Chain A
Amino acid sequence: MRSLVWLFVPAALLAQVNVPYERIRDADKEPGNWLTYSRTYSGQRYSPLDQINAGNVAKLRIAWMRQVNETDTFETSAIAVDGTLFITEPPDAVAALDAATGRELWRYQKELPSDLRLCCGKVNRGVAILGNTLYYASTNAHLIALDARTGSVRWDVTVADHKNGYSSTGAPLAVKDKIITGMAGGEFGVRGFIDAYDAKTGKRVWRFYTIPAKGEPGNETWAGDSWKTGSATTWVTGAYDPETNTVYWGTGNPGPDWNGDVRKGDNLYADSLIALDPDTGAKKWHFQYTPHDVNDWDSTQTPILADGMVQGQPRKMVVLANRNGFYYAVDRVTGKFIAGRPFVKQTWASGLDEAGRPMRLPDSEPTVEGKLIWPSLGGGSNWYSSTFSPNTNLYYVNAKEEAGIYHKGDAEYKPGAPFNGGGQHDYKEEEPYGAVRALEVATGQLRWEYKLHRPSHAGLMATAGGLVFGSNLSSFFALDAQKGDLLWRFETGGNIDANPMTFLTGGKQYLVIPAGHALLVFALD
Chain B
Amino acid sequence: MAAGTETKVKLPTSRADLLRGEKLFQVHCALCHGPKGVGGRGPMLTRARLKRAPDDATLLKILDEGIRGTEMPGAGVMSDREMRQTAAYVRSLGKVVQKPVPGDVAHGAGIYRAKGCTGCHSVHGEGGVAGPDLSAIGESRSAAYLRESLVNPGAAVPEGYLLVTVTPNGGQSVTGVRVNEDSFSIQLRDSAGRSFSFWKKDLARVDKQSGKSPMPSYQGQLSDTELTDVVAYLASLKEAQ
Whether chains A and B associate is: yes
A110 contacts B by Cβ under 8 Å: no
Are B182 and A412 in touch, CB under 8 angstroms? no
A453 contacts B by Cβ under 8 Å: yes
Total inter-chain residue pairs, C-beta < 8 Å: 56
Contact flags B1-42 to A (C-beta < 8 A → 1, else 0)? 010000000000000000000010001100100000000000
Are A418 and B79 in touch, CB under 8 angstroms? yes
- Which of B28, B73, B182 has most A Cβ within 10 Å? B182
A409 and B182 in contact (CB under 8 A), knowing A370-B27, A425-B28? no
CA distance A451 to B183 in the complex (A): 8
- Chain B nearest CB: distance from A295 CB in Å? 13
- A423 contacts which chain B residues (CB < 8 A)? 75-78
A164 contacts B by Cβ under 8 Å: no
B65 contacts A by Cβ under 8 Å: no
- A487 contacts which chain B residues (CB < 8 A)? none
- A475 contacts which chain B residues (CB < 8 A)? 182-184
Which residue of B is nearest A368, CB measured? B27
Contact flags A438-473 to B (C-beta < 8 A → 1, else 0)? 000000000000011110000000000000000011
Are A420 and B182 in touch, CB under 8 angstroms? no
State how many residues of chain A have any CB contact under 8 Å with chain B: 27
- A369 contacts which chain B residues (CB < 8 A)? 27
- B27 contacts which chain A residues (CB < 8 A)? 368-370, 407
- A472 contacts which chain B residues (CB < 8 A)? 182-183
- Chain A nearest CB: distance from B113 CB in Å? 34
A474 contacts B by Cβ under 8 Å: yes
- A426 contacts which chain B residues (CB < 8 A)? 73
- B82 contacts which chain A residues (CB < 8 A)? 409-410
CA distance A24 to B2 in the complex (A): 44
Contact flags B116-138 to A (C-beta < 8 A → 1, else 0)? 00000000000000000000000
CA distance A370 to B80 in the complex (A): 19
A424 and B77 in contact (CB under 8 A), knowing A407-B27, A489-B184? yes
B81 contacts A by Cβ under 8 Å: yes
Are A422 and B77 in touch, CB under 8 angstroms? yes
A417 contacts B by Cβ under 8 Å: yes
B residues 39-81 in Cβ contact with A at 8 Å: 73, 75-81
Report 26 cross-chain contacts, Cβ distance below 8 Å, ordered by A residue. Answer: A407-B27, A407-B28, A409-B77, A410-B78, A410-B82, A412-B79, A417-B2, A418-B79, A420-B76, A420-B79, A423-B76, A423-B78, A425-B31, A425-B73, A426-B73, A451-B183, A452-B183, A453-B181, A453-B182, A453-B183, A454-B182, A454-B183, A472-B182, A475-B184, A477-B183, A489-B184
Q: Beyond A407-B77, A424-B77, A453-B183: 4 further Cβ-contacts under 8 Å?
A: A370-B27, A418-B80, A423-B76, A425-B28
Residues of A bordering B, CB below 8 Å? 368-370, 407, 409-412, 417-418, 420-426, 451-454, 472-475, 477, 489
